[in-house]
């Protein structure tokens, strides 16, 4: 290498650039790059470029017209992502330097890392040699070793082709399918886009199927039977079960069948009576036996992002997006965690010493974690084969703590996530937990009653979570001398317990993330199932965004901690299956594309062949969406019943509802037509076929679950038929109700505040929907002497004006009420938030609000004198501790003037009322 020449190293993120500079040594940081006698090192921030939208390729695509589809670009073009032009220009200026002889791609070791580099290389018009460094460990030794064995960038051309094809195929499917479906489904009364995507639509289909299973469920009563028994030393109870029970095999994973049948359920009164008779006839001859087994609970693996999101959702109810935001802050701002957007649960094999050093750091200062760390260092790290494995380290290794302590006290989400990761890191190297599992079977005649308990014998890794061994067993031994013997026991009684079947639960985000990660299990094709087995659909970095996108598109809504498909989401999945282009709602599509990409990476398939297949597939999708007829896609469905209005026609299903077969296609109803229709949505509930069939047959049905729009309140209602409105709420006797049961009026909590920001006492009330504060009496008209003077004639003297000012009028009073929704701009507000708002006049700045378009924004809420609130917007970057302005170069005078105009226009937007937002 020429002494005067240098290589430009491009990394995917700033932290990696810093690690490389530190490992190689001899660098000086100069603004947005590092420099040494041999290298420049600079960085991207993830993807700096994105594909052009259709209307940017050709203005004619601004109007969404079916005749313009499919859109099949012969060349895909890129543009800088918002805010990334300066970064691109900086990389370009370094690459064009005369002393730079070549470029080193040090982006992440994977398909997306390859794409990030090649996008930059091509867009900036760099025409210099490029090399590849493939880093799977970030220790200084591993970095230095890789720099000694640089590979040609062209060795990874197949990987680069696969990366481009993945991005371009997603563009083709998303842009064309979304436009085609939107044009066919959108009406004058519906707003918004019917968005379709390779990953988001199969994810929606999972939620929609579970929602339909939930809605179709009808509670069915059953009995459990609890027997009460005693020995000379203790009493215990056992639950009746049928030892001959066999779990039913449900076709097409029908969980309603699987969840109904259980070995301990008795569905008929006759069978219950037979069991009770047999029990009573033989209760004097009861005997029991038990087994006691030791069971190991293996120490948990380290977190990847998906597993961390699932655990945070399970433990704290945190949405996946909030978990990612907290982990990102802990990585970027606090420097307490390693890179969070990873799909690996392992560490590189050369990281053993790094781990020891991290444990030493946390053992040195007395904290709740230090004792466990000291034990590991003293007795050695266990479970190394479940932690260190190069084969399972992908672009990034598992999320672990860095060994640093917080420079400031963590609170909220940041504290919770740091605690989860640190405890999991420590637990991974500790002994297994040992449980003593006891199963006791009590025999009374032909009946069997089972008792199960488990005692923690050795806490092992569970010690980190505050669990200790139990001194006494929850169930003393049945027979001390002869544990295996059948031992007589005394029967004390038997109690039938009446229950009812429950629907399969709606998916929580934790469960959905798991399904997305392991969706290959539901695929029939073995090759596709194998491809999906490791990766699933989406990536750890995108799954949270996919869920949030489904919510912002109004396909899915949050329902407490669960997710439910909306009527819009269910209708989309339904119509795609009927057109039929249901491949868009199946994970098989991802499997097929991924299989092709893997072949391309191995050189077994050409980029041109793959893209031609994608062009053909896209054209087929568009043709089917363009040509289907609404009446035809429902023609094979049987009628749901006779029309209750005209008594002649049959009620058939359509896209928007269930209507009489004698209905016309226009708004005007002729004498030979019928206008009866039941819409598919009522009070945020999708009205499925089973409800319509029941109400047509029985006239009064229910109760069914309904809810408010935010899912914070739900209630049960009966339904009946209305000739004019289809179905309406009614009483159990069928008497019509004007509206659903109101839950806003139910006060769940009440608290008196003696002093508030408005200088008067207030009573804070919590309802299902909102937080309220009723303040003390407040004048509706202030005394005239402090009011603004009324407009006076020019002839009026100053003396007259003074007299007018001093005249006071009697005060009228009214009660002032402040109200704040419990779900505000996509964020769940806490009672502490609201009390701070009432006591101090504002909340602290909050960073995770979402606009109507799903965009995040940061703001504090300020209390106005009339009790309403307004948003005071703040920079999200400033809130996250990022540098926003001081180090940026000044603009030219002309641009500064333009900027000032923008600021002037947006000043008003710095403070908006709740009605405007």
Active-site positions read 339
Find the helix or strand (DSSP H, E) in which 146 lies.
helix 140-147
DSSP one-letter code for 465: G
Instruction: Please list the residues that pair with 849 across neighbouring strands.
Output: 857
Torsion of Cα atoms, 23 then 24 then 26 then 31, to 10°: -80
Collapsing DSSP to helix, strand or coil, 497 comes out as strand
- Residue 267 in contact with residue 274, Cβ under 8 Å? no
| Distances 859 to 490, 710, 870 between C-alpha atoms, Å | 67, 21, 9
Rounded Cα distance between 372 and 356, Å, is: 13
**Sheet harboring 762-767: ordered strands across?**
747-753, 762-767, 770-779, 813-821
Cβ-contact 427, 390 below 8 angstroms: no
305-316 vs 412-427: helix crossing angle, rounded to 10: 120
398-428 core/surface letters (b: 16 or more CB in 10 A; e: else): bbbbeeeeeeeebeebbebbbebbbbbbbbb
CA dist 653 and 692 (Å) reads 10
d(CA 747, CA 770): 10
DSSP conformation class of 197:
-
Q: How far apart are CA 395 and CA 352, in angstroms?
A: 19
From the centroid of its chain, how far is CA 29? 39
- Beta carbons within 8 Å of 811's beta carbon, 6+ residues apart: 779, 780, 781, 782, 783
Task: Tell which residue, 422, 453, 417, has the closest CA to residue 435.
Answer: 453
- How far, in whole angstroms, is CA 123 from its chain's centroid? 34
The continuous run of DSSP H or E covering 22 comes out as helix 14-24
C-alpha–C-alpha distance, residues 370 and 686, integer Å? 53
Which DSSP letter does residue 387 get? T
Q: How far is CA 205 from CA 212, 450, 566, 586, 792, in A?
A: 10, 39, 11, 7, 69
CB-CB contact of 538 with 529 (8 Å): no
- SS3 at position 336: coil
Q: Are strands 6-11 and 39-43 parallel, antiparallel or unpaired?
A: parallel
Count of alpha carbons within 13 Å of 261, Cβ hemisphere only?
Answer: 12
Residue appearing with tokens 């006779």: 642
Alpha helices in 781-830 (DSSP H): 798-806
Q: Which residue has the tokens 């303040």?
A: 775
Query: Residue 418 in contact with residue 369, Cβ under 8 Å?
Result: no
How many CB atoms lie under 10 A from the CB of residue 109? 21
Angle at 208 between CA 203 and CA 211, to 5 degrees: 135
Say how far apart CA 603 and CA 609 lie, in whole Å.
12
What is the rounded distance in angstroms from the CA atom of residue 421 to the CA atom of residue 398?
Answer: 10
* Range 501-513 burial, b when 16+ CB lie within 10 A, else e: bebeebbbbbbbb
């Amino acid at each position: 290498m020429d002494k005067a020449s240098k290589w430009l190293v491009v990394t995917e993120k700033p932290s990696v650039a810093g690690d490389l500079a530190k490992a190689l040594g001899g660098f000086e940081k100069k603004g947005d790059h590092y420099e040494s006698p041999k290298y420049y090192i600079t960085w991207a921030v993830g993807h700096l470029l994105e594909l052009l939208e259709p209307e940017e390729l050709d203005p004619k695509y601004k109007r969404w017209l079916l005749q313009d589809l499919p859109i099949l670009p012969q060349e895909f073009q890129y543009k800088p992502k918002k805010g990334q032009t300066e970064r691109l220009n900086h990389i370009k200026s370094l690459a064009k330097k005369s002393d730079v002889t070549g470029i080193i791609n040090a982006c992440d070791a994977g398909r997306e890392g390859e794409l990030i580099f090649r996008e930059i290389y091509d867009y900036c018009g760099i025409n210099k040699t490029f090399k590849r460094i493939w880093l799977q460990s970030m220790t200084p030794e591993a970095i230095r070793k890789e720099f000694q064995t640089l590979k040609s960038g062209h060795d990874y051309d197949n990987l680069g082709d696969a990366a481009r094809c993945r991005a371009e195929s997603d563009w083709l499917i998303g842009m064309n399918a979304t436009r085609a479906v939107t044009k066919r489904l959108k009406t004058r009364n519906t707003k918004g886009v019917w968005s379709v995507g390779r990953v988001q639509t199969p994810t929606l289909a999972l939620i929609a199927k579970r929602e339909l299973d939930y809605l179709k469920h009808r509670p069915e009563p059953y009995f459990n039977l609890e027997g009460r028994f005693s020995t000379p030393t203790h009493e215990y109870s056992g639950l009746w079960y049928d030892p001959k029970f066999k779990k039913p095999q449900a076709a097409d994973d029908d969980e309603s069948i699987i969840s109904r049948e259980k070995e301990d359920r008795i569905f008929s009164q006759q069978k219950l009576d037979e069991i009770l008779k047999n029990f009573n006839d033989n209760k004097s001859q009861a005997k029991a036996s038990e087994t006691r087994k030791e069971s190991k609970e293996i120490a948990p693996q380290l977190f990847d992002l998906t597993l961390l999101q699932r655990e945070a959702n399970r433990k704290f109810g945190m949405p996946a997006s909030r978990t990612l935001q907290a982990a990102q802050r802990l990585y970027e701002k606090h420097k307490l965690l390693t890179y969070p957007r990873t799909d690996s649960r392992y560490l590189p094999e050369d990281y053993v010493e790094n781990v020891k050093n991290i444990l030493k750091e946390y053992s040195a200062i007395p904290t709740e974690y230090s004792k466990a760390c000291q034990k590991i260092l003293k007795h050695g790290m266990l479970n190394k084969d479940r932690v260190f494995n190069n084969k399972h380290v992908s672009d990034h290794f598992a999320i672990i703590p860095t060994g640093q302590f917080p420079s400031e006290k963590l609170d909220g989400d940041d504290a919770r996530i740091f605690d989860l990761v640190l405890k999991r890191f420590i637990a991974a190297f500790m002994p297994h937990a040992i449980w003593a599992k006891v199963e006791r079977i009590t025999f009374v005649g032909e009946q069997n009653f089972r008792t199960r308990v488990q005692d923690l014998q050795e806490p092992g890794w569970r010690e980190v979570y505050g669990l200790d061994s139990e001194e006494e067993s929850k169930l003393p031994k049945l027979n001390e001398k002869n544990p295996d013997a059948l031992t007589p026991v005394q029967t004390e009684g038997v109690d039938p317990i009446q229950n009812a079947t429950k629907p399969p639960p709606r998916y929580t985000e934790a469960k959905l993330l798991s399904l997305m990660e392991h969706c290959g299990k539901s695929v029939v094709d073995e090759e596709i199932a194998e491809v999906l087995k490791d990766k699933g659909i989406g990536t750890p970095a995108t799954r949270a965004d996919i869920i949030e996108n489904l919510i912002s598109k109004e396909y899915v809504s949050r329902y407490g901690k669960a997710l439910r498909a909306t009527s819009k989401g269910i209708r989309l999945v339904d119509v795609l299956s009927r057109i039929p282009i249901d491949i868009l709602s199946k994970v098989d599509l991802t499997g097929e594309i991924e299989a092709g990409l893997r072949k391309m990476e191995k050189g077994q398939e050409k980029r041109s062949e793959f893209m031609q297949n994608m062009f053909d597939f896209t054209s087929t999708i568009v043709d089917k969406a363009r040509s289907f007829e609404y009446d035809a896609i429902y023609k094979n469905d049987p009628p749901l019943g006779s029309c209750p209005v005209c008594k002649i026609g049959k009620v058939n299903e359509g896209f928007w509802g269930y209507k009489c077969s004698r209905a016309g296609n226009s708004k005007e109803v002729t004498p030979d037509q019928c206008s009866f229709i039941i819409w598919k949505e009522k009070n945020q509930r999708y009205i499925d076929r089973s409800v319509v069939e029941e109400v047509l047959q029985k006239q009064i049905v229910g109760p069914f679950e309904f809810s408010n729009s935010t899912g914070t309140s739900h209630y049960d209602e009966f339904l009946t038929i209305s000739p004019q409105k289809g179905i309406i709420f009614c009483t159990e006797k069928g008497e019509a109700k004007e509206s659903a049961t109101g839950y806003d009026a139910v006060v769940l909590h009440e608290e008196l505040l003696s002093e508030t920001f408005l200088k008067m006492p207030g009573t804070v009330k919590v309802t299902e929907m909102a937080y309220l504060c009723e303040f003390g009496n407040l004048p509706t008209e202030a005394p005239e002497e402090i009011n603004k003077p009324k407009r006076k004639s020019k002839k009026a003297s100053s003396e007259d004006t003074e007299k007018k000012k001093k005249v006071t009028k009697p005060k009228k009073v009214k009660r002032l009420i402040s109200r704040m929704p419990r779900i505000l701009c996509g964020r769940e507000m806490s009672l502490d938030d609201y009390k701070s708002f009432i006591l101090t006049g504002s909340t602290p700045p909050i960073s995770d609000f979402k606009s109507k378009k799903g965009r995040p924004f940061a703001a504090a809420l300020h209390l106005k004198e009339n009790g309403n609130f307004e948003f005071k917007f703040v920079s999200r970057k400033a809130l996250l501790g990022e540098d926003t302005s001081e180090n940026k170069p000044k603009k030219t005078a002309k641009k500064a003037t333009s900027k000032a105009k923008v600021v002037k226009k947006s000043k008003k937007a710095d403070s908006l009322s709740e009605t405007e937002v």
